Amino acid sequence: MSKTIIIQKNGVAQTMTVDKLRLPKAGGGTEDYLPADGKNLVKLEVKQNGTYKASDFGAYGIAEVKVKCTLNGGSATSKATTKAITALHHPTPAEGGLARTMSAHHLETPKSGGGTVQWVPEAEVALGTKSVNIDNRTYKASDDGKYGYSEFTVSGISITKDGNTVTHTDGTGTKTYILPHHIRVEHGPLKFTYNDGETIDFFDMLVKAYNEDNTVWTDETHPNGVIPLEELILPVTVADYSQTSGVTIKEWAEFGTGPWPQPINAVRGSMVFGHHPWDSVIEYDGYIALLLTGGDYIEEYLCCTDQPGTTAYFNPGTGQYPTTFNVDSEYTYDGKTVYYGIPLSGLTANNPSGGYNQRVNGFDLVKAKAAWVLVYGTPISIADMQTIPVQWARPWDAEILEDSFEIFVYQNPGYGGAEGGGGQTSGGGAGRDN
């Protein structure tokens, strides 16, 4: 790439057009410099045998190649990348008739018509070529002492499929693999509540691949079946209230100022340890039940009503824990009395030590206030569930496997927006037809 520059010769500015600069270097000899612009690099992911040229991707060089061949082949994909040139060189240009040694990784000359041109040592942007026959490996030009590859050739890789079995041959030999059958979102991201239009944060999501018999599938690059986030396809990245469905979360707003906000926090914070919101606040035959959570993963239901002296026979909704409540405690605020109680037999979920008969101790005033808010407060619909798909193009044939997780989306930005950790459960692995 020619450049028209201005240099000084014997104190006189001269204009010339050159492809490179050649300067003497300290210690003797010469060194060539090339224009710094136009030295863009790309990274490639190659899916089949072939020869790939940097020019095919509009690049000066290929910095890195990930060879990941598939049964169906496919086009190579590229992504722009950069490489900083920081190595110091020591040209000795003449200034006033005297050679002056300097240290620099770039040179700069005035450009005809204004501006400047930057130059880099030709050795720092040297290109090479490479041929490989080993699949599922990443090759970096820097490992070969090159700025990039001008050409990269993949050959000798063969993949065939018989049912769910893939036979793969490359320079390391022949191996057989079983294709994964489905994926499963083991737990959703850490953040699960959003305002409408907010970008979804996928941090801490765990996705695994499984065989048809639901055993964990694994290979050399997916230990214990874990699929790296960068391999996942995420079609939906924005929370969208118009795409929500399912049961609405309810929050009870108290009348007046009240001695709160502890009950509101109890209600809003009740969705923990894997419980969906419709298991947290339940209305049944005139009674309202709230799932309260104490320390050590211990949970219990608080049942309340505005009718004194009643006993509620209440099933939390799972069908597993029909529970009797004595609603014989009372709390009065603002002239309104609420009657509340807890199960005669406690409920413990996700308790690492096992058992279902532990109780949440204390919280008496919290329970009383929460019961009052549940009975006399105003229910407000604040968020609905949106299903977020998660996809993965499995190795060898690139068939798309899919599962999903759920987030909660607030219709009115700025209202609520409580955030919490973990606790999502997936809808199960999505199967496929062979």
> Is the pLDDT score of 96 beyond 90?
no
Mean pLDDT of all residues in 204-232: 95
pLDDT tens digits for range 219-247: 988 999 999 999 999 999 999 999 987 65
Percentage of the chain lying above the pLDDT 90 cut: 50
Question: Euclidean distance between the first and final Cα of the chain, in Å?
Answer: 54
Specify burial of residue 40 (Cβ count, 10 A radius: 0-12, 13-18, 19+): middle
pTM of the entire structure? 0.60
> Is the pLDDT score of 389 beyond 60?
yes
Lowest mean pLDDT among 3-7, 290-294, 375-379, 380-384: 290-294
Within 10 A of 260 (CB to CB), how many other CB atoms are there?
18
Cβ-defined contacts of 55-63 (< 8 Å, 24+): 55/150, 59/148, 60/125, 60/127, 60/148, 61/125, 61/127, 61/141, 61/146, 61/147, 61/148, 61/149, 61/150, 62/141, 62/148, 62/149, 62/150, 62/152, 63/140, 63/141, 63/142, 63/147, 63/148
Residue 183: pLDDT band with limits 50, 70, 90: very high
Distance separating alpha carbons of residues 341 and 364, to the nearest angstrom: 10
Contacts for 84 with CB less than 8 Å, ≥ 6 apart? none
Sign of CA dihedral 44, 50, 52, 56: negative
> Is the pLDDT score of 133 beyond 60?
yes
pLDDT of residue 412: 65
pLDDT of residue 357: 35
pLDDT of residue 176: 95
pLDDT of residue 53: 98
Read off the tokens for 98. Answer: 């005297």
Written as one letter, the residue type at 190 is L
Ranges of beta strands (E only) in 224-297 are: 232-233, 245-253, 281-284, 287-293
Q: Is 313 helix (H, G, I), strand (E, B) or coil?
A: strand
> Looking at per-residue confidence, does 406 or 361 come out higher?
406
How far is residue 338 CA from its own chain's centroid? 46
Nearest to 157 by CA among 143, 138, 173: 173
Nearest to 375 by CA among 312, 276, 307, 273: 307
- 128-132, 247-251, 371-375 — which one is most confidently predicted on average? 128-132
pLDDT tens digits for range 319-349: 334 356 678 888 888 899 988 886 654 443 3
How far is residue 365 CA from its own chain's centroid? 41
Residue 99: pLDDT band with limits 50, 70, 90: confident
> Is the pLDDT score of 126 beyond 90?
yes
